[in-house]
Chain A
Amino acid sequence: EVQLLESGGGLVNPGESLRLSCAASGFTFNNVWMSWVRQAPGKGLEWVGRIKSKNVGATIDYAAPVKGGFTISRDDSKNTLYLQMNSLKTEDTAVYYCTTQGGTDGSSHHYWGQGTLVTVSS
Chain B
Amino acid sequence: QSVLTQPPSVSAAPGQKVTISCSGSSSNIDNNYVSWYQQLPGTAPKLLIYDNNKRPSGIPDRFSGSKSGTSATLGITGLQTGDEADYYCGTWDSSLSAAVFGGGTQLTVL
Contacts and interface: CB of A to CB of B under 8 A. Distances in A.
A104 B47 contact: no
Interface in B66-110: 86, 88, 90-92, 96-104
Interface of B is mostly: strand
Contact of A45 (B45, B51, B91): B45
A67 to B, nearest CB: 10
Bin chain B's interface residue count: 20 to 34
B100 A110 contact: no
A9 interface: no
Nearest to A113: B44
A112 B44 contact: yes
Contact of A64 (B2, B56, B96): B96
12 contacts: A44-B2, A44-B104, A45-B45, A47-B90, A63-B99, A103-B51, A105-B92, A109-B45, A110-B47, A110-B56, A112-B45, A113-B44
Interface of B: 2, 32-33, 35, 37, 44-47, 50-51, 54, 56, 86, 88, 90-92, 96-104
Interface of A: 35, 37, 44-47, 50, 61-64, 97, 102-105, 107-115
